[in-house]
Amino acid sequence: MIFRTLGLMRGLSTVILLFVLMYVYANVPENVALSVDESGLRGDYISRPKFFFGALALAVVVNLVLYLFGQFVSKANSYNLSSQRIKLWSDGLGLFVNLFFVIILFFFNAFNGGERFDFSYLSYPIYISLGFVVVWAFALIPIFIMRNR
């Protein structure tokens, strides 16, 4: 039951990521700022289509690699691992990576918006979602250690 639920949540997070990417594409200006210099002015611009297709390519590649890793290891089973554990880990990591991408895209949307915004409030969700990704990624180590127990 949990395997299907987590797989459904990962698929839903991928769809949400694509919708958020389209929303951000519609809201950002023609030149998307990527950084701020010491004086507080925005610097390092990229065009909106390059930003959109770069973010889309990154999301597709990361999700595809995670999906193929889960499929390959669960089918090959050459490491004597439980295929369900690997699929669960892969789906969970994909879910947390998609959550991280969604939060980063909302950050770019707020950063490039015309309103004044205190960006320090966005640091907490960014760090928390990145922490989820790191903790879940390191959860693969006990899976390899336990091996079909």
Among residues of the chain, what percentage have pLDDT more than 70? 86
> What's residue 72's pLDDT?
79
Radius of gyration for the chain, computed over Cα atoms and rounded to the nearest angstrom: 18
Mutual orientation of helices 48-76 and 83-111 as an angle, nearest 10°?
170
Mean pLDDT of the chain: 83
pLDDT class of 147 with cuts at 50, 70, 90: low
> What's residue 56's pLDDT?
95
> What's residue 73's pLDDT?
73
> What's residue 79's pLDDT?
55
Number of structural domains (the chain) is 1
Residue 43 belongs to what H/E stretch?
A: strand 42-47
Q: pTM of the prediction? A: 0.83
| Higher pLDDT, residue 3 or 108 | 108
33 pLDDT above the threshold of 70: yes
Q: What is the per-residue pLDDT across 78-119, written as a single tens digit (0 to 9) for each?
A: 555 566 777 888 888 899 999 999 999 988 888 887 777 776
> What's residue 55's pLDDT?
94
Average pLDDT score over residue span 135-149: 74
149 pLDDT above the threshold of 60: no
Rounded Cα distance, 9 and 80, in Å? 27
Enclosing domain of residue 34:
2-146
Q: What is the per-residue pLDDT across 50-79, written as a single tens digit (0 to 9) for each?
A: 999 999 999 999 999 988 887 777 676 655
- DSSP H helices in the chain: 2-27, 48-76, 83-111, 120-138, 140-146
19 pLDDT above the threshold of 90: yes
